[in-house]
Amino acid sequence: MTELPNVHVRAEVLAQALPHMQRYDQEIVVIKYGGHAMGDRSAAEDFAEDIVLLEQSGLKPIVVHGGGPQIGKMLDRLGIQSEFRNGLRVTDEATVEVVEMVLAGLINKQIVGWISAEGGRAIGLCGKDGNMVRAKRATKTVVDPESHLEQTIDLGLVGEPEHVERGVLDAVLKAELIPVLAPVAYGADGQTYNVNADTFAGAIAGALRAKRLLLLTDVPGVLDKDKKLIPELTVEDCRRLIADGTITGGMIPKIETCMYAIERGVEAVVILDGKVNHAVLLELFTDYGAGTLIRRG
């Protein structure tokens, strides 16, 4: 005899989710989707299911996606050699064409398709559409390990958001569509720029004063020096942990994005592991959370 599911437990879970749903009703939540979770079909379908459930529960989700590994694979297939400076890829004219093709084309429409398959109504856009995001050439400063002096690295056509025109997104959300955004944007010079997906998501969340910005990554969240998860931080805590060396490497720009978004009116930002099944629902609709939550203080 097949064992029946415990319907009472399921009902209790739904009842516990209700106050969370009410808290986020008609609120904008920006979700940056990237990392290895994007390459796993099952995880991608779970993610799409979460996004549709958010929209049908009264939230206004906006998805911003990356695609670094897919860009690398396409460059290899096309025989385009990449130049690296201090471990960072330089984006030249040939590379930015592939970036736009992969991000605004292949991956963007793939995510739209996954959401549609789960019953949602999504629309794929990039920063160029409707002049949504204007970018400027980014500068990257590193410290030379030998001289200990700061050096500025030219990464080519890598941009950072300079201005967000929210009218396009307001119209899309009013039509009850789910925007799926690729981090490619024009500059004032008419040049196409490749923008870091975290930075792009932070700019979108800040411009729309989102209730939450969720950064789905490949790690559980921010870790302390003993590699244990820190469940909650203030902006001041973040500055202190960067200064004392607890937060290092690739986590620093993520934290900087979090602080940027909060300073522009986002209530809180969460860094969480995108490989955890239904991580978005765990964070927004349960008391447990699923990563490190960062608030103003």
Q: What is the C-alpha separation between 83 and 156, in angstroms, rounded?
A: 10
Consult the annotation and say whether 67 binds a ligand.
Answer: yes
Q: What is the C-alpha separation between 285 and 270, in angstroms, rounded?
A: 14
Using the structure block, give the residue that is written with the tokens 């093709």: 101
Consult the annotation and say whether 35 binds a ligand.
Answer: no
**What secondary structure letter does DSSP report for 289?**
-
Consult the annotation and say whether 68 binds a ligand.
Answer: yes
Give me the phi and psi of 151, to 5 degrees please: -125, 140
Consult the annotation and say whether 41 binds a ligand.
Answer: no
Residue 188 tokens read as 């004032």
* Inter-CA distances, 230 with 167, 223, 227, 246, 256, Å: 37, 6, 9, 11, 17
Angle between helices 251-263 and 235-243 (to 10 degrees): 150
What does the DSSP assignment read for 215-240?
EEESSSS-B-TTS-B--EEEHHHHHH
Strands 212-217 and 28-33: parallel
CB atoms within 10 A of CB 205: 33
Length of the chain: 297
Q: What is the C-alpha separation between 28 and 211, in angstroms, rounded?
A: 6
Of 277, 260, 139, the closest CA to residue 198 belongs to: 260
Binding site residues for substrate, as ranges?
67-68, 89, 194
Binding site residues, as ranges?
67-68, 89, 194
